[in-house]
Amino acid sequence: MVTFSSLLESPTAYKAVLVTGCDMYAGYQIALDVLQHKGKHFKCVYAVYFKENDMVHHLKKHGADCIKLAVADGADAIAKAYSKADVVVVLPPVSDDHWGKDSCVFVSAAEKAKIKGLVLCSKINADQLDNLPMLKPLIQMEQAYHDIKGKIKVASLVRCSLHIDMLWLFRDQIASDGKICLPTNGRAKFAPLVESDASHALCRMLIDPNIPAGTYQLTGPEQLDFETVAQHAASKLDEEITFNEIERKDMEQFLKDKVKLCDNHIGYIGDMLEALSKGLLDKCTGDLEQLLGKQPMSVKKYFEKNANDFKP
Per-residue pLDDT tens, the chain, 312 aa: give them: 889 999 999 999 999 999 999 999 999 999 999 999 999 999 999 999 999 999 999 999 999 999 999 999 999 999 999 999 999 999 999 999 999 999 999 999 999 999 999 999 999 999 999 999 999 999 999 999 999 999 999 999 999 999 999 999 999 999 999 999 999 999 999 999 999 999 999 999 999 999 999 999 999 999 999 999 999 999 999 999 999 999 999 999 999 999 999 999 999 999 999 999 999 999 999 999 999 999 999 999 999 999 999 988
Contact (Cβ atoms closer than 8 angstroms) between residue 11 and residue 148? no
Q: What is the pTM of this model?
A: 0.97
Domain 165-189+221-281+298-310 has what CATH class? alpha beta
| Predicted pLDDT at 77 | 98
Question: Would you give the DSSP letter of residue 178?
Answer: -
Concatenated DSSP letters for 20-81? S-TTSHHHHHHHHHHHTTBTTTBSEEEEEESS--HHHHHHHHTT-EEEE--GGGHHHHHHHH
DSSP H stretches of helix in the chain: 4-8, 25-35, 54-61, 74-82, 105-112, 136-148, 171-177, 195-207, 226-237, 248-257, 263-277, 287-292, 299-305
In this structure, whether the domain defined by 4-162+193-218 belongs to CATH 3.40.50.720 is answered with yes
Domain ranges of the chain: 4-162+193-218, 165-189+221-281+298-310
Residue type, 273: L
